[in-house]
């Protein structure tokens, strides 16, 4: 929210964003985003009752260059074909558009922990390996940035401890976590 407010100016007249696709929308963010005056704000989810449209992130049903901003927090670790999802994200972003793409990250490994067949595992096996029963990977920080870059996004990993966001300390942000933003 701080990035949306302070960097993208989403809640002010001089906003840098007019259209947004919010995948797997967080309810705490959805309410203020609905009120911020965007020309287009669409929520999408595999489960249609949780959003405006039923949407598969590996096959986004919108034309090329449709959105200034795409937000999909804690989504890609659930998607078996994350390469296809990242390609779709880039495709629907307008030139200069931003994608906020938070995922669980490990900073101590060089390589992402994953298995393309993980959906055939038991819930207990996935929970033990990936930390949650519906995950198929845990991204390594450097590897995640490389994958997004390979998809054609310029990656910015924002360090909360050095950011200019007002109230960053008051928001009790984890100083070890980075905000991952890809730009087309």
Q: What is the mean pLDDT of residues 35-39?
A: 92
What is residue 177's predicted lDDT score, i.e. its pLDDT? 80
Domains of the chain, each with CATH number or no CATH: 2-183 (3.40.50.150)
Q: What is the pTM (predicted TM-score) of this model?
A: 0.91
Q: How many CB atoms lie within 10 A of CB 98?
A: 26
Q: Considering only residues 9 and 64, tell me which one the structure prediction assigns the higher pLDDT.
A: 64
Q: What is the mean pLDDT of residues 143-159?
A: 96
Is the pLDDT assigned to residue 24 strictly greater than 90?
yes
Contacts of 177 (CB under 8 A, 6+ apart): 105, 160
Q: Which residues of 7-41 are buried (b: 16+ CB within 10 A; e: fewer)?
A: bbebeeeebebebbbbbbbeeeeeeebeeeebeeb
Confidence band, pLDDT 50/70/90 cuts, at residue 153: very high
Q: Which residue has the tokens 């109230």?
A: 167
Q: What is the mean pLDDT of residues 84-91?
A: 98
Q: Considering only residues 36 and 160, tell me which one the structure prediction assigns the higher pLDDT.
A: 36
C-alpha 137/C-alpha 128 separation (Å) is: 11
What is the three-class DSSP state of 3? helix
Q: Considering only residues 177 and 92, tell me which one the structure prediction assigns the higher pLDDT.
A: 92
Confidence band, pLDDT 50/70/90 cuts, at residue 178: confident
């Amino acid at each position: 929210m701080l990035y949306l407010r302070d960097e993208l100016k989403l809640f002010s007249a001089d906003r840098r964003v007019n259209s947004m696709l919010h995948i797997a929308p967080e309810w705490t963010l959805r309410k203020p985003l609905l009120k911020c005056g965007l020309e287009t704000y669409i929520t999408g989810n595999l489960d249609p009752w949780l959003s405006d449209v039923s949407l598969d992130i590996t096959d986004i049903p919108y034309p090329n260059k449709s959105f200034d901003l795409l937000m999909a927090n804690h989504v890609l670790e659930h998607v078996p074909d994350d390469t296809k999802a990242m390609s779709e994200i880039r495709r629907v972003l307008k030139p200069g558009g931003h994608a906020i793409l938070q995922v669980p990250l490990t900073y101590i490994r060089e390589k992402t922990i994953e298995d393309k067949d993980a959906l055939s595992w038991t819930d207990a096996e996935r929970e033990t390996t990936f930390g949650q029963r519906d995950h198929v990977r845990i991204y390594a920080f450097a590897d995640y940035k490389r994958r997004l870059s390979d998809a054609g996004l310029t990656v910015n990993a924002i360090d909360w401890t050095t950011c200019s966001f007002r109230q960053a300390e008051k928001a009790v942000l984890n100083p070890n976590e980075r905000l991952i933003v890809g730009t087309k």
